[in-house]
Structure 1
Amino acid sequence: MGLRFKFLGKLPDLEGYISILQKAVKIIPNGHSNKAALLDNLRISRQLLFDRRESVGEVFERPKGSVTSVAFSPDSKRIASGFEDGVIRVWDVKSGETVTVPLQGHRGSVNSVSFSPDGRYIVSGSEDKTVRVWGAGTGEVITGPLQGHTGSVNSVSFSHDLLLIVSGSEDETVRVWDAEIGETVVGPLHNHRGSVNSVSFSPDVRYIISGSEDKTVRVWDVESGETVVGPLQGYGGSVNSVSFSPDGRFIVSGSEDGMVCVWDAVTGERV
């Protein structure tokens, strides 16, 4: 349906209208021909007020296709959104307006978008099997397309030092790329037996975590590409999302079977 942002500017007018309706309902006697219409208007207005308060905002734009991925910039002032039509748009949170030209180049649905830790770049992974790095302020391609995956790229993320990018793909592999030159520097890593749905770096950039359709989670050493923890098992369905804790001590993962698990990042034991 499009992007939604906080928008409460019209609430005072609506509240005033409801107040007038309430007074009119009290004054007009039961059985009057206008009473039923007033009550209907009052009910509808109250529902509208409730919906606006509960909503995350007002619809500003309706691009083609569904929104497939969203991410906040580190300063929370912008949002990047990837669309089914292969386009990425960057929005100002307060105004709801786009702040760059549409980021175009992917030839398939944009499955994952993420800002760099300094907010200057956006990395994207697409159904077209490629990864791209864009200037968050200009909309220009900075690096890419990064090619090597043989299936849809499902998840991408920058390292905290901005030097590396990790990607997970439907081809069951994980790759680590040099963010500046776009070459694969680690991988492809092959131990998963299903689509890799989610990937992320540890805060110290020593490790990568991945979650897969094969119902497992793995922790990889960035330098060697070896699995150092895992496979972490116990899920009854595809692992769709994984993340390190900010201190790097724990891993959280969520699965298709409705389970969320927290693991010790060193031992692989459930917490």
Structure 2
Amino acid sequence: MKNLLIAFLFNFLCLCVQGATLDFAFQLGEKQEPRLDKLLPDVARQMAFSRDSKKLIAKGMGGTVVKWDLQSRQKREISRIHAKRWFVYSIGANQLLVRDADDNITILSLGSGDETLLTNGQYESGSLSAEGTLAVLSKGDNEVEVWQLAKQGPKAVKTLQTSFPVRNGLTLSDNGQFIAAAEGTYGDGEGHRTAIEVWNTINEHPIKVFNTGEILGVWNVLFSPDATMLAVDTQKNAQSGIRIWEVETGRQLLMKSGFEAYWTRALAFSPTSDSLASGGEGGNLRIWDISEGESVIWETYPTGIQSLAFSPNGEYLAAALWDTTIQILHWGTSHER
């Protein structure tokens, strides 16, 4: 009852804690009754804002990719392509990298509607640089393919060897400088072990290895917009957490655990790279001040949070809930006022 009351009041009250503010702006989509056994097809598995912050691209659990207009609050289906498992949005090139139902890895230009086949295969994860000039792909084995996306056509330029299977995610920094692979193993008596390897794209061998220890994999792995930090979520003993490292030094900047959710399903850095938003299966939305190492905002929704995204202009935070709605929240910090 207490959590429901807090969620209700959240729609009317502005939160202001330690200089950070977050308040309800509007809602996208109509609420549906959440399912606990299987997420509804319209729940946004992944989201990304357009460069002008006026559109929100979202991939539903059912594979449909839509574009929301924030002014009209209407959506339209982007393409007949249904994204299988994952999609990646390149904010500079305004294009998507998707794996479809036929395992085609396709680049879709949202401006022209053109589709370019990159390759075909059962790739478990992929990522794009912000300007759409570089892509990385993995089939969940011990390899990461690096692709150059040029006007004359895409070309595989190198294959990186990983220490363990890339089971838990793959990401490329916005500037195309760094690659991070979340790798994992499982053995009887050893449990799950997860490590994050980081490469500079010009090198063949990792420049950093972050050993997370005996945790049951990760749901998210992502670089900060300025490419100086790497964030992951963690899970151990049926409780989740988050960690942030400094890429250059390997120094751990933030480590939190014991969240009351099996998985922290959503992570998003603020555009200024000084805050991290996290959302989990328990409906807890938290904003972390990275320099302070503490959460400055903590809100609870009556249902789980599947994905999060900040707008590039720093005005909005989008939170996709298990009831299929997307909550658009006004976001601000003290240095902006």
Q: Tell whether the 8 Å contact from 1:156 to 1:200 is kept in structure 2 after alignment.
A: no
Match of 1:169 in 2: 234
Task: Return closer, same or farther for 1:98/1:139 CA change in 2, 3 Å cut-off.
Answer: farther
Matching of residue 206 in structure 1 with residue 274 in structure 2: yes
Structure with the higher strand share, 1 or 2: 2
Task: Return closer, same or farther for 1:69/1:231 CA change in 2, 3 Å cut-off.
Answer: farther
Q: Secondary structure at the match of 2:299?
A: strand
**2:294 aligned partner, one-letter code:** E
Match of 2:216 in 1: 151
Match of 2:33 in 1: none
TM-score by length of 1: 0.69
Task: Return closer, same or farther for 1:119/1:266 CA change in 2, 3 Å cut-off.
Answer: same
Task: Return closer, same or farther for 1:247/1:191 CA change in 2, 3 Å cut-off.
Answer: farther
CA distance in structure 2 between the aligned counterparts of 1:138 and 1:119, rounded to whole angstroms:
13
Matching of residue 107 in structure 1 with residue 165 in structure 2: yes
Matching of residue 125 in structure 1 with residue 182 in structure 2: yes
**1:133 aligned partner, one-letter code:** V
**2:307 aligned partner, one-letter code:** S
Task: Return closer, same or farther for 1:106/1:265 CA change in 2, 3 Å cut-off.
Answer: farther
Match of 2:321 in 1: 255
Name which of 134, 140, 145 aligns with 1:84: 140
Task: Return closer, same or farther for 1:169/1:82 CA change in 2, 3 Å cut-off.
Answer: farther
Q: Tell whether the 8 Å contact from 1:126 to 1:154 is kept in structure 2 after alignment.
A: no
CA distance in structure 1 between the aligned counterparts of 2:129 and 2:116, rounded to whole angstroms:
19
Q: Secondary structure at the match of 2:147?
A: strand
Alpha-carbon shift at residue 231 of structure 1 (Å): 2.5
Task: Return closer, same or farther for 1:255/1:125 CA change in 2, 3 Å cut-off.
Answer: farther
TM-score by length of 2: 0.56
**1:58 aligned partner, one-letter code:** L
Task: Return closer, same or farther for 1:126/1:265 CA change in 2, 3 Å cut-off.
Answer: farther
Q: Secondary structure at the match of 1:147?
A: strand
CA distance in structure 2 between the aligned counterparts of 1:182 and 1:213, rounded to whole angstroms:
29
Q: Tell whether the 8 Å contact from 1:127 to 1:154 is kept in structure 2 after alignment.
A: no
CA distance in structure 1 between the aligned counterparts of 2:223 and 2:118, rounded to whole angstroms:
30
CA distance in structure 1 between the aligned counterparts of 2:265 and 2:139, rounded to whole angstroms:
18
Name which of 159, 170, 173 aligns with 1:116: 173
**1:4 aligned partner, one-letter code:** T
Q: How many residues align?
A: 216
Structure 1 unaligned spans of 5+: 7-52
Structure with the higher helix share, 1 or 2: 1
CA distance in structure 1 between the aligned counterparts of 2:261 and 2:278, rounded to whole angstroms:
12
Match of 2:288 in 1: 220
Residue correspondence of structure 1 range 225-240 to structure 2 within 5 A: 225-235=293-303, 238-240=304-306
Match of 1:25 in 2: none
Q: Give the aligned CA root-mean-square deviation in angstroms.
A: 2.8
Q: Tell whether the 8 Å contact from 1:125 to 1:154 is kept in structure 2 after alignment.
A: no
Percentage identity across paired residues of the two chains: 20
CA distance in structure 2 between the aligned counterparts of 1:193 and 1:141, rounded to whole angstroms:
32
Q: Tell whether the 8 Å contact from 1:209 to 1:218 is kept in structure 2 after alignment.
A: yes
Match of 1:58 in 2: 117
Matching of residue 135 in structure 1 with residue 200 in structure 2: yes
Alpha-carbon shift at residue 101 of structure 1 (Å): 1.8
**1:142 aligned partner, one-letter code:** I
Q: Tell whether the 8 Å contact from 2:289 to 2:296 is kept in structure 1 after alignment.
A: yes
CA distance in structure 1 between the aligned counterparts of 2:321 and 2:184, rounded to whole angstroms:
22
Name which of 129, 140, 157 aligns with 1:73: 129
CA distance in structure 2 between the aligned counterparts of 1:116 and 1:59, rounded to whole angstroms:
20
Q: Secondary structure at the match of 1:205?
A: coil
Q: Tell whether the 8 Å contact from 2:225 to 2:273 is kept in structure 1 after alignment.
A: yes
Q: Tell whether the 8 Å contact from 2:148 to 2:155 is kept in structure 1 after alignment.
A: yes
Task: Return closer, same or farther for 1:200/1:59 CA change in 2, 3 Å cut-off.
Answer: closer
